[in-house]
Amino acid sequence: MQLPPLSENSLKDKVILVTGAGDGIGRAAALSFARAGATLILLGRTVSKLEAVYDEILSEGGAEPAIVPLDLCGATLSHYQQMAQTIQEQFKRLDGVLHNASQLGYLRPFAQIPEKEWQDIMQVNLTSQFYMTQALLPLLLQAPHASVIFTSSGVGRKGRAYWGSYAVSKFATEGMMQVLADEYANSKVRFNCINPGATRTKMRAKAYPAEDANQLKTPEDIMPLYLYLMSDQSIDVNGQSLDAQPKK
Ligand SMILES: NC(=O)c1ccc[n+]([C@@H]2O[C@H](COP(=O)([O-])OP(=O)(O)OC[C@H]3O[C@@H](n4cnc5c(N)ncnc54)[C@H](OP(=O)(O)O)[C@@H]3O)[C@@H](O)[C@H]2O)c1
């Protein structure tokens, strides 16, 4: 997909929530969205990382973000409902959500996946997105145009040995996006997936410890697709699963 050139302030006046905003792709997305004029809600589990992103946004002259410290593994629907209420009170609107936080778990034979690992991966990578989307939909539906981006993976489109619970959670993420996109096709909220492709982050290093990370794209390199899908230039794009690094 050829992305159209984006205007400088393509996210001006938008309020956008990013999960896993303290590190890796989520951190880069939060900074890029802020540079494009958005006000960020930074959600993650390590407060010091979120504070560093908060400081960086302010030092670049961006709008003051909000920090939501939350471990997606333990959070229940009521945590997300409280968060939605706080967003309503503080910002009065929500224009976008980037579901980005995920855990890889451990690459291992399917027969050896511990029950707890399976449940934790499903909770963080999948169920938290269900809770959060349910809680935030009323706010998103009030926005003039809202964009919800889910984060997929190559192993969420074609299964691969030893990627077990992570791969299954990404297939289900694609499914959740498709169900929502169809259900809200006649609304002003759109739902799409991004497959980032191999990107230089801690998660990638955990999955491929022997590779030369310098050969990989950085999170900053893959931001054009994130900015496009969050901006009003993509208001007609719904139900798509797009690659941030399309094969040439
Ligand atoms: N990098 C790649 O090559 C690649 C390829 C395909 C798909 N993806 C997907 O892209 C997304 C971002 O991955 P990444 O590579 O940037 O990973 P990363 O560097 O490991 O960052 C993951 C982020 O998610 C947060 N997180 C993890 N578990 C959490 C929890 N229980 N509660 C709250 N926050 C939690 C982490 O917080 P802490 O820092 O506090 O742990 C971190 O900010 C993921 O959905 C991943 O599956 C990545």
Domain assignment of residue 248, yes or no: no
**Catalytic residue numbers?**
166
pLDDT in tens, 196-220: 999 999 999 999 999 999 999 999 9
pLDDT of residue 171: 98
Domain assignment of residue 117, yes or no: yes
Q: Is the CB of 127 under 6 A from ligand 1?
A: no
pLDDT of residue 2: 81
Q: Residue 196 is part of which domain span? A: 15-243
Domain assignment of residue 2, yes or no: no
Point out the residues of the chain with pLDDT beneath 70: none
Ranges assigned E (strand) in the chain: 15-19, 39-44, 66-69, 96-99, 146-151, 189-195, 241-243
Greatest distance between any 2 Cα atoms in the chain:
51
Residues 156 and 174 sit within 8 Å (Cβ to Cβ): yes
Domain assignment of residue 65, yes or no: yes
Residues 6+ apart with CB under 8 A from 200: 213, 214, 216, 217, 218, 219
Domain assignment of residue 111, yes or no: yes
Ligand 1 center from residue 24 Cα (angstroms) = 7
Residues 124 and 172 sit within 8 Å (Cβ to Cβ): no
pLDDT of residue 219: 98
Q: 3-18: b or e for each residue (b if 16 or more CB lie within 10 Å)?
A: eeeeeeebbeebbbbb
pLDDT of residue 230: 98
Ligand 1 center from residue 122 Cα (angstroms) = 14
Q: Is the CB of 204 under 6 A from ligand 1?
A: yes
Q: How many domains does the chain have?
A: 1
CATH assignment at residue 184: 3.40.50.720
Domain assignment of residue 8, yes or no: no
pLDDT of residue 108: 97
Domain assignment of residue 113, yes or no: yes
Residues 6+ apart with CB under 8 A from 149: 96, 97, 98, 99, 100, 192, 193, 194, 226, 229, 230
pLDDT of residue 218: 98
Domain assignment of residue 7, yes or no: no
> ∠ CA 239-242-14 to the nearest 5 degrees?
70
